Structure formats: structure tokens, C-alpha cells
Amino acid sequence: MEPRGKQLVERYKQNYSITDNFDISEQMVLAHWELEKQLTKELLNSTLENRWQVFENSYTRLYQELEWLNRARQGQNDATEDYETWAKTIGAPPQTVYEIGSGQGQLIQYLASCGFDCKGTEITRERGQKHLNNPAANIQWGQSDGVHLERFEPDGHYDVVISSQVIEHLHPDDLNAHFKGCYKILKPQGRYIFTTPHCYTGPHDVSSVFNYDVSRGMHLKEYTYAELLKQLQAAGYRQVYASIPLKFRRLFAKLHLHQEAQMIKVGEVYLQLLLVTEAVLGLVPQRKLQRSLSKFLKQLLLFRDNIFLVAQK
């Protein structure tokens, strides 16, 4: 049964990390749900020829009609620690960083404050630069389809390409083109670093608010490690490894294991561990039980809500 009333609003706020004091009504949540279901059909039915136009129009409409998604002050939810993990995974500045799907710009602004030369991008002008009051001088802004990046940027230009919670929004047919587009604009030895929700702990979009077991909203597909590893290898990346959780990094630092080559080796081993855990979870027939086991394993750092991978050119 789908929740209603206060329970529905509480689930919605929790899912979108909206602070308790921000006013959200049941009608607003239901409006979001109905709009996402409609837009999801349009996105999935789009063709290669009209996809960018359909996606741009859909996301522009989403943030115009549900304007509170841009106004709502999101809770911190350990955001500083998340950003620190990103910075540690990228490495020491100076490096050129290109972000796909910058949202309200918090991550790219943080990375710029760390000394990286950054470019943020979005598919709609309803997101991105307009939400930053005092953007750093070392951030540029642009617009792209998030897939064919070589049409918007020169080949071999960036040290690092990043995306946080983006590829689940792409049309599943575009995933390979997306990985290839990132590959093309990276310098030799450059890295594509990204996070995306794991399907075993989801769904992570508005569908979860209504107790669905699979995504029916604008997370067009939530992936597994195995699926993404296969696609990254097909796109030409020579090495793929997992980002190391900050708790592990701090422990390894005490053991004087903090060189980049050492972290890559640890990341490779950690990815293999995650793949084994994922394979075991894949044997669980019921999605709810799968989610419960995933949450337990997450506490042991044997699994994660979000896939966090580094793919090296």
C-alpha cells in the first residue's frame, strides 16, 4: 500500500534530504510523483535523434513545475565528508576537473575551493550556475547533453571527469556512448570518477517514497558493479577500481599506506570484494530481503548504497 499524509511527507523529505522545517505538503509530493511518471515515459520513448531535446525539456519542466526542489535547503547528511572523499579520490591539485550534472553546484564549488580548475555543466539552465551566490573564480560553466561530451569539449583536455548521481538518469541505451564521451575528453591516464545508486539498495528515486521495489521515476536504470565494469571495459578504460571510503583512508594513513599507487591497489581489491558481495546478494530472490541484507553489509563496509568507481584511460 502506498503511504499517505504525514508518513508520505516524511518519507519524501528523508529521500531528498530536505530539512524538517521546509514546508512540504502531501499534494506537492503527489504532484511530483505524477509528473515524474509522465516524464519518465517520454524519456524512455525518446529516440537518438530527439533525445537531447526531450531530456532538456523534461528536466527544465521538472524544476520549473516543482520549483521547491531548487528552493528546499537540503540537510548536510555528512556532505562535508562526502566532498572530502571526492577530493581524496581525485588527488592533489592542480588538476582540471569537468563535472557532468552539477545540480546546484555544491560539489564543484567545494573542489574549486580545494584548488582544482573546474568546469560545471548541466542539461538544463534551471540547475547549475544560477544557484551559486559567490561562485569561485576557477569555475567555468557550460551546458551539454551529458552523453556525447566530445561534441562540447576538445579531445584529451581534462585530467578528471566526474559525475555524482547522474548515470542513473541517462537513457540506458546511451550508457556506452556516455562512457566513450568521457574517455575522449580525458587526457592520457585521465580518470572518470563517478557515483550512482546501486540497484540492490534501491530504488533511490521518488519510487521509494511510494514503497516500490524498482524504479518507476526518472532513475531510468539503477546499476550493479558487474554491469558498469563490463560497460567501462567495452568503452576502452584500461583500469577500473573502487574509491576507498574515508574511514579506510584514515586507517591506511596511520599505517603509512597513502601513496597513490597503494590506494589504487587497495581500490582494485575492494572492488573485487564488492563484486563478490554483489554476486551473493544477487542470489537473494526477494528485493526487500536483498535491501535489508545490503544495509547490514553496508555497516561492515562490505557494501555501499552508492557505487563509487574510478575508471582510468
- pLDDT, tens digit (0-9, with 9 covering 90-100), for 222-249: 999 999 999 999 999 999 999 998 888 8
Buried b (16+ CB within 10 A) or exposed e, 296-308: ebeeeeebbebbb
Report residue 77's pLDDT band, with 50, 70 and 90 as the boundaries: very low
Give yes or no for a contact between 154 and 185, defined as CB atoms under 8 angstroms apart: yes
What pLDDT, on a 0 to 100 scale, did the predictor assign at position 83?
92
Average pLDDT, the chain: 91
Query: Which triple of cell numbers denotes residue 245?
Result: 571510503
Sheet holding 96-100, edge to edge: 139-143, 117-122, 96-100, 158-164, 186-197, 306-312, 239-242
Q: Residue ranges of the alpha helices (H) in 72-174?
A: 79-90, 106-113
Q: Residue 257: which residues within 8 A CB-CB, separation 6 or more?
A: 263, 266
Rounded mean pLDDT, 115-142? 80
B/e letters for 57-74, b = 16+ CB within 10 Å, e = fewer, are: bbbebbbeebebbeebeb
Name the most confidently modeled range: 79-83, 108-112, 129-133: 108-112
Task: Answer for the pair 201, 299: CB distance below 8 angstroms, yes or no.
Answer: no
Domains of the chain: 5-71 (no CATH), 79-242+305-312 (3.40.50.150)
Give helix 26-44 / helix 5-15 axis angle, nearest 10°: 60
Greatest distance between any 2 Cα atoms in the chain? 54
Residue 279 makes CB contacts below 8 A (sequence gap 6+) with 226
Q: How far is CA 104 from the centre of its chain?
A: 13
pLDDT cut 90: percent of the chain above it: 75
pLDDT tens-digit series, residues 154-165: 999 999 999 999
What is the predicted pLDDT for the residue at 129? 58
